[in-house]
Chain A
Amino acid sequence: MKGVLRVMFRPAALRIAALVAVLCTTVLAAERLTAENAWVPWAPPAIKVHAAYLTIVNRSNVDHVILGAESPDYERVELHGSSIRDGLNVMRSLDRIAVPANKQVAFEPGGLHVMLINPKRTYGVDDRIRLVLRLGSGDQIETSAVVRRRAPGNDVQHHRHHGSHQ
């Protein structure tokens, strides 16, 4: 019985310690690395592949790296980069995106985007999409993206081109 008790108690203690550690690091990470102005262009219900755009701001002196993204509102989420190569639009899946110390990385049309696949319901304008970005440090950033119609000024003007995300 003694052995069984040990097995039962020790994992619980570890779990509490781990939880405390996770809570602390999440708070620290949130102070230093933020996801801002996240939005998803509205698409008709028949369209099942969407994109999220946002800006990741690293206000710390530490380099960070984004390793993946998730959303409880979609079946699958991938990090993608669009670029133009030899006159062709090329979209590729990325497994890490660097966010250097004191820099920001913009996810914007024609460049980086969070690809959202198979929405779990239909989203309308002003709805919120939950996003979680996983960092190399083990922390994560949570944000919510607002569903918006594309309009002049929110993407047309800010297009960077010719594959600046190599």
Chain B
Amino acid sequence: MSGRRRVLVAAAAGAAIWSGVVAAPRVNAVILDNPSPLQAFVLEDHNGRRFTADAFKGRWSLVLAGFTNCPDVCPFTLANLEQVVSELGLLVRPDRLPVVIFLGVDPDRDRAILKDYVVQFHPDFLGVTGAADQIELALKSLEAVAKRTEPDARGGYQIMHSAAVAVVDPEGRLAAKINPPFDPAPTAHFLADLFRRPDNPISEKAR
């Protein structure tokens, strides 16, 4: 049991996803054999409160990187995660429900509207952002990346960012990554199974 990962494909066969065959809903996720603790960083949440790696402790979190000028994929993912958490509510105890965290990787444009952008999907969703170097540290811990594209003629730019959602456990460790699509029901079942694994912090306490 070194740092190797196990590729876990829940529900339908993974091969169908790549061959373009329309498959039953599935989850394309990776569970880390050894969850990796997040390195220190200091960000701010959308209420202006300090948000550090320690803020992850005590509950499960689903973290996605994105930017508020993203009108398509980021809102679509947040809407899907709202559905995932809603489905999870039927499967796990309320204290195991994860918080959804949106890491705004475009701080200059994100800061002013982060809260509006995030809470439209659920009032409990939390937006965080901060200085570029701190965002980099957070991304690195989450095994995610974000890159600004070359500006166009008008100076406009987009940000390419990891599509995966990071699952952080209640001890503040990266436990899994889920790749799109985030079909709500299978993703919720995947997470419920993950939360119930005997080696997971809250599961042990619950026994």
Contact = CB atoms under 8 A, between A and B. Distances in A.
A34 B68 CA distance: 31
Which of B73, B112, B161 has the most CB atoms of chain A within a 10 A radius of its CB?
A: B73
Contact of A47 (B80, B116, B147, B161): B116
B71 A88 contact: no
B163 A47 contact: no
Interface in B65-123: 66, 68-76, 79-80, 83, 112-113, 116-117, 120
Contacts of A46: 112-113, 116-117
A161 B75 CA distance: 15
A106 B43 CA distance: 39
A49 interface: yes
B177 to A, nearest CB: 9
B58 interface: no
B88 to A, nearest CB: 15
Interface string A87-121: 11111110000000000000001100101100000
A116 B68 CA distance: 14
A87 B163 CA distance: 6
A161 B163 CA distance: 11
B179 interface: yes
B117 A159 contact: no
Given A88-B145, A91-B73, A110 B158 contact: no
Contact of B163 (A50, A88, A115): A88
A60 to B, nearest CB: 28
B70 A156 contact: no
A159 B163 contact: no
A140 to B, nearest CB: 23
Contacts of B116: 44-47
Contacts of A45: 116
B26 to A, nearest CB: 11
A46 B179 CA distance: 29
Given A88-B163, A89-B66, 15 more contacts: A43-B120, A44-B117, A46-B117, A47-B68, A47-B113, A49-B71, A50-B71, A84-B180, A87-B179, A88-B147, A90-B158, A91-B158, A93-B152, A156-B80, A162-B17
11 contacts: A46-B112, A46-B116, A51-B72, A80-B72, A88-B145, A88-B147, A89-B70, A89-B161, A109-B73, A110-B180, A156-B184
